[in-house]
């Protein structure tokens, strides 16, 4: 059995956090928050079909994975996320839950209330910039180079 545990440790060690600190707690908290928000909103008034949600999640997964791969790895290497310069287990939560569900929440309000397109895009971009600033300033989620 110890051979299995050693092999498991060898496999998972490169993607585990160096230390479980504020950026991991923030990632877990924000993941739970966005899941709860979108669940409550969808139960309150269903705006999206399940197929639309799946399509948005898959499209966002494609763009975040490719974007992080190209922008956070050599030759560009603009930033590191969480504790490593390459993928970490918390990146999976960020890419699969936080990023797409945050966009779903923004799209929910746009679809439900038929808001002005241009102003809502500006509002969404500003809101996401503020959220990223909070994650960098207070929780060290990203390290820009």
Judge whether 116 lies within some domain.
Answer: yes
Q: Is residue 23 within 8 Å of residue 90, measured between CB atoms?
A: yes
pTM: 0.82
Judge whether 11 lies within some domain.
Answer: no
Judge whether 7 lies within some domain.
Answer: no
Judge whether 9 lies within some domain.
Answer: no
Q: Is residue 93 within 8 Å of residue 30, measured between CB atoms?
A: no
Q: Is residue 48 within 8 Å of residue 108, measured between CB atoms?
A: yes
Is 90 exceeded by the pLDDT of residue 125?
A: yes
pLDDT digits over 74-114, tens only? 888 888 877 766 677 888 888 889 989 999 999 999 988 88
Range of the domain at 114: 20-144
Neighbours of 39 (CB within 10 A): 11
**Alpha carbons 119 and 122: distance in angstroms, whole number:** 5
Judge whether 3 lies within some domain.
Answer: no
pLDDT band at 51 (very low <50, low <70, confident <90, very high): very high
- Residues contacting residue 43 through CB under 8 Å, at least 6 positions apart: none
Tokens 């409550």 map to which residue? 40
């Amino acid at each position: 059995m110890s051979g299995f545990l050693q092999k498991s440790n060898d496999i998972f060690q490169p993607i585990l956090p160096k230390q479980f600190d504020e950026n991991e707690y923030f990632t877990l908290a924000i993941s739970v928050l966005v899941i709860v928000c979108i669940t409550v909103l969808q139960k309150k008034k269903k705006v999206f079909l399940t197929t639309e949600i799946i399509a948005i999640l898959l499209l966002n997964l494609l763009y975040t994975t490719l974007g992080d791969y190209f922008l956070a790895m050599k030759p560009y290497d603009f930033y590191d996320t969480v504790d490593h310069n390459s993928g970490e287990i918390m990146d999976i939560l960020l890419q699969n839950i936080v990023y797409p569900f945050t966009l779903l929440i923004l799209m929910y309000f746009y679809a439900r209330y038929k808001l002005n397109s241009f102003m809502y895009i500006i509002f969404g971009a500003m809101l996401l910039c503020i959220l990223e600033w909070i994650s960098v300033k207070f929780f060290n989620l990203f390290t820009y180079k």
